[in-house]
Each structure stands twice: as structure tokens, then as C-alpha cells.
Structure 1
Amino acid sequence: MRALIVTAVPPERDAVLAGLAACGSDFGRGPDPDSGPGSGEGRPTVLAAGVGPAAAAAATAAELTSAALAGRPYALVVSAGIGGGFAPVQPPDLVVASTIVAADLGADTPDGFRSVAALGFGTDTVHVPGDLARAVADRLRAVLGPVLTVSTVTGTAARAAELAARHPGAVAEAMEGFGVAQAAAASGVPVLEVRAVSNPVGPRDRAAWRIPDALDALAGAFGKIAPVIEGWTRHG
């Protein structure tokens, strides 16, 4: 069985594909990114799904459904890309999600933000397989912790402090993980999130962005963890 790796934009997809190709295994030699479901048993599909949780969820759900109907279901979904890091995480560190959290899905109230879970309307957290997350983090020497999904990227110190206070131990924020995770959960498929940090969470300081370095780190990460993911998809 295969892994489905979902990124937001083509540069992230291409970094993941480069890392997989560099690892030298059959697993790493995945299909062309525009070819749809992987062409061989055990080979991953890597998608650029679009920016934000809605686009990520839609593309992930469509691919999972298509693969299941074709009799080639996925064993694992991975949300991957670059993102912002909460201190002390710094660019271009790697992070692995222990949980995937919808950080701004809920309501503002006079008493502060209330999550969708607190409101009784659903869940705001998707759990990942703990053994897999730890194995991937160990392989990468990455920081393991909650990764937040936001629909609006944080741009102020006040917002960064608020998120950090509401989600102790959060290591990063990005825009797609929870959408990918919800689609995976609906199909009964385990999910993982791996991010390379391109900037600190907080004021938007373009001079501090290290996007090329983060993409290089993302490529290197998938070259290293391909055997871990391959083992999970076969035996997890």
C-alpha cells in the first residue's frame, strides 16, 4: 500500500519529489506529479493541492476516494511543506506534528476565543500515530509537538503570543494540515504532518524569511524518512 503526500504549492511538491528521488529506493521513485495515483504498488503520490485547509481537504478527499475506487487505497497520508515556527524553533528547523490542530476554527467571544470543540460543534484536533511521529522525528532530529493550522497566517507579535498561550508546546503553524487530516480521518487513513520552518511566527519580516533553505530542508527530510514511511505503509 502507498502513501499520499499532500503539499500546498508546486515548489513544496517538487522539493518532496526531489528528496524521495534522492533516497535511491523504489519507494522514492514515485510517479510523475501530474500522473494522478501512483503507478506502482508502494510508490507514493505527491500532490500540490492548493493553499488553505479547504483546498487541501478537497484535493485529499478526491485522491483518497479515487484510489479506493480503483482498488489501490492509501495506507498513510502526509501533510508536508514549509511553515512558521514558534520559538525556540528557528528556520530551517524541521518539525513533526504530535497533533494537528485547527487553531482558528471557532468563535470570538467576550471571554476570548472558543474552539469549535468547546462550542460542541465538532473537533479541532486530529491525532497522529504516536509511534510513527516519534520515529520520523527521531530520524530527522526534528522537533515534535502540536502543529497549528490557520486560515490567516500570523502577522503580529500579539497574535503569536495568543496562539502560543492557547496551544502550549505548539511548534509551528501552517495552512493545510487540518484539512488534509480531516479528509484522511473521514477515509479511515492515518495522517502525519512534516514541516520545514521558513520563518518565525509573528510580525511579517520578509528579511527573516528563509524559504529556499526551508525547501532544501524539506527535500532532505523526505530523503531521510522515505524508509520509515515505506515501512509504515507496508507494516503499520
Structure 2
Amino acid sequence: MTAERTDKQPGPAAGLLVVVAVEAEAEAVRRGLGPGSGAVVLAAGVGPAAAAAGTAAELAAGRYGLVLSAGIAGGFAPAAPLGSLVVADAVLAADLGAETPDGFADVTELGFGTVRHPVPPGLVAALAAATGGAVGEVLTVSTVTGSAARAEALRRRHPRALAEAMEGFGVAEAAARRGLAAGELRAVSNAVGPRDRASWRIGDALAALERAFAALPPLPHLLKEV
């Protein structure tokens, strides 16, 4: 999937870049932000690699002061029910590592880098206050959870996790390489666990995402929190 920008390029002042996976999410964010927001919404593609590549290329313009990863996500019940919002206080790569005889070891444990990007506390507080979203960790996975066993394994490794998605860590990694703060805001469309398409509420999640971005405080206020 080719990264697609859906807004005009911002001016020289520090701007907001919102990175989503697909155009349906971009449209919801754009409706929420409204005309004249000055933000750029980038549909960078599905997965952490596409998200990182698209974000890095856009940030090369040097026009941004804040990056948000956004979109729909799976929620860990009961803390993150369908249609609810989640604000990340940390973005984690949940399956970046190696299987060992003793279980999964992430790349930090292996000594090869980081799997965790904390979000500035002031930004977390501002996003949560504006949207009413629950605060906790958001996991980035390359393979979406489709079984109760994997959901339970993720819960054991990450007891503070509220949601899983596929792009946040890539966005945060690209932002960190340029010294920029990144946050993550997700609307829950399905429960993490066995795949049950009949229970998914994608429309409700997109509507919640739109409302969340409509409720965001002005960019200067957010920039003061990073």
C-alpha cells in the first residue's frame, strides 16, 4: 500500500502529523479535525514497517512539532470495550524479539535495542482529558491476535496493555529518530482474542475516532505538553 497524504502541507510553523493505516481512518480523523486545522493526515499503510517508512519520509520536511499515531484497534476486555477510546502512555513493540526455550524474549532483553517508547505525561493527560480515553499501554503487533492463548500471553507480558494495533511503534520510532514526541490515540473496534468478524464494530470505532479528534485542544496547547 502506498502512503497517501490527505491534507495540504502545513506552513513553516511546527505542525501536527497524524499517521493512520488506511483511508477510512484518515477520513474519520479529517472530519474530526475539520477544515483549517493545519494538520496533515497520512495514510501510511498497514503494519509497523509501512508506518515507520511513511512517517520518516513525511518528517523529513521538518515542518512538524508533534506526531500522533491513530486509528482503530483491538481492545483488551473488559478495560477497553468496543467503541471506547484508548490513549497510550507508552507504545510497545509486542512481538519484536525471539522465541527461546524459556519463552519469548524481546529485543531489549536480547540487547539489540528498545521495544518501548514512552509518551510525554503532559501529552497523555491532555489527550485523555479532551477525549475521555482510558490511559494505558498500546501494543504494536505485526500479526493481529486471533486466539485466546495469544491474548492471554500478551496480557501476562503486558498487564497494563489496553489495546493492540499494527502501526504505533513504527510511528514512534520514526519520530524518535528526529527528536520529536509521538502519541497514540485508538478507538476500539473489536476485542483482542479469537477472531469473530460478526462482533466487530468498525463503524462505531471510526465514529468514536472522529469525535476524539473533534475534541482535541488546539495544537499550541498540545505542543506545550511535549
Q: TM-score over 0.5 for the alignment?
A: yes
Compared CA separation, residues 184 and 108, structure 1 to 2 (3 A) = same
Query: Superposed, which structure 2 residues align to 1:102-117 within 5 Å?
Result: 102-117=93-108
Q: Which residue in the other structure is 2:53 paired with?
A: 58
In structure 1, the partner of 2:8 is none
Equivalent residue, structure 1, for 2:66? 76
Q: In structure 1, what is the equivalent of residue 164 of structure 2?
A: 173
Q: Aligned to 2:91, which of 86, 96, 100?
A: 100
Residue 166 of structure 1, CA deviation: 0.1
Rounded Cα–Cα distance in structure 2 between residues aligned with 1:197 and 1:219: 13
- Which segments of 5 or more consecutive residues in structure 2 lack a partner in the other structure? 1-13
Matching residue within 98, 109, 127 for 1:136: 127
User: Which whole-Å CA distance do the structure 1 matches of 2:225 and 2:123 have between them?
Assistant: 11
Letter in 1 for 2:201: R
Matched, 1:3 2:10: no
Match of 1:29 among 26, 36, 41: 36
Runs of 4+ in 1 over 6 A off after TM superposition: none
Paired amino acid for 1:56: A
Distance 1:235 1:144, change over 3 A: closer
Identical amino acids, percent of aligned pairs: 58
Contact 2:29 2:209 in 1 (8 A): yes
Match of 1:160 in 2: 151
Number of residue pairs the alignment of both structures matches:
212
Deviation at 1:233, TM superposition (A): 2.9
Per the alignment, in what secondary structure is the counterpart of residue 122 of structure 2?
helix
The corresponding residue for 2:42 is 47
Q: What's 1:224 paired with?
A: 215
Long gaps (5+) in structure 1? 22-27, 31-42
Instruction: Please say if 1:127 is aligned against 2:134.
Output: no
Q: What is the TM-score when the length of structure 2 is the normalising length? A: 0.91
Tell me by how many angstroms 1:14 deviates. 0.4
Per-residue CA shift, 1:184-223, capped at 9, x if unaligned?
Answer: 0000010000000000000000111000000000000000
* Aligned Cα root-mean-square deviation (Å): 1.2
TM-score (norm 1): 0.87
Query: Which residue identity does 1:55 align to in structure 2?
Result: A
